[in-house]
Amino acid sequence: MIVRYQYMAYLQKKYAIETNLNTILQSALASDRDTIASIIRKKDCMTVALYRYKNMIFLYYEAVANVPHALSPQDLFPALTEHLESVPVKETYQEWLPMHIVYYNAIPDSVENWRRNSKKERIGRSAYLLPDKLMTYLYYHKELLEEGLFEGERYLSIGLHDTILFTYSESPRIITHLNLKSTEESAVIEKWRALNPKSHFDHDFSGEGNFVDLQELFSLGWEEIFHE
């Protein structure tokens, strides 16, 4: 079984005026690539993708569920973690903030069924939900999951932390839906569209669109490692 994880983090505040930030990040990620490649070669992880927007870092990865211990962001990015802000969470501090996955179009039930035949473009996007629209957004995406009829990208995964959304997807797209035994069309998506989805997003953050495209900092997967 494959378990998908999404996290976000913040670069340390000192980097707001750091002119050599790109060099620092590239150095850390070059070191972490060797770590991640080793983890993938052990078949403990399938795909890792990392993105940035201003001072925010977004992480998506797929861990194989039968590894001896849960695979953490720190396991994947020990060098990068040293450059992240430690944020108060309950009674402790942590660099990586877990995002709750609120929507997807397919379930990765096995390594064999989930692996890609060739490398794809890995896409990261982010958005802010308006606080008073959060519950409506969550309600209808829960309804879409339960219905399972809305067709969308196979590897899509939408994570939420507070009111921040992070979407991971791949291109070229493979279109599917959860309820593969049914050929009915989604009724829930029509109800969602009738509510004007665009009105749920903070466009001071995203401009005219609902989501902004994120800068890819790193990506690596089985299809690269086992064909190198």
Domain range for 207 = 2-225
**pLDDT tens, 141-175?**
999 999 999 999 999 999 999 999 999 999 999 99
* 184, pLDDT greater than 80: yes
**pLDDT tens, 104-151?**
999 998 899 999 988 889 999 999 999 999 999 999 999 999 999 999
For residues 114 and 4, what is the distance between their CA atoms, to the nearest angstrom? 11
For residues 57 and 52, what is the distance between their CA atoms, to the nearest angstrom? 5
- CA-closest candidate to residue 222, choices 83, 78, 44, 19: 44
What total of structural domains would you count in the chain?
1
Task: Name the phi and psi angles at 210, rounded to 5.
Answer: -85, -35
The answer to which of 10-19, 31-40, 189-198 has the lowest mean pLDDT is 10-19
Tallying the residues shown for the chain, one arrives at 228
pTM for this predicted structure: 0.95
CATH (domain of 146): 3.30.70
Q: How far is C-alpha 144 from the chain's CA centre?
A: 19
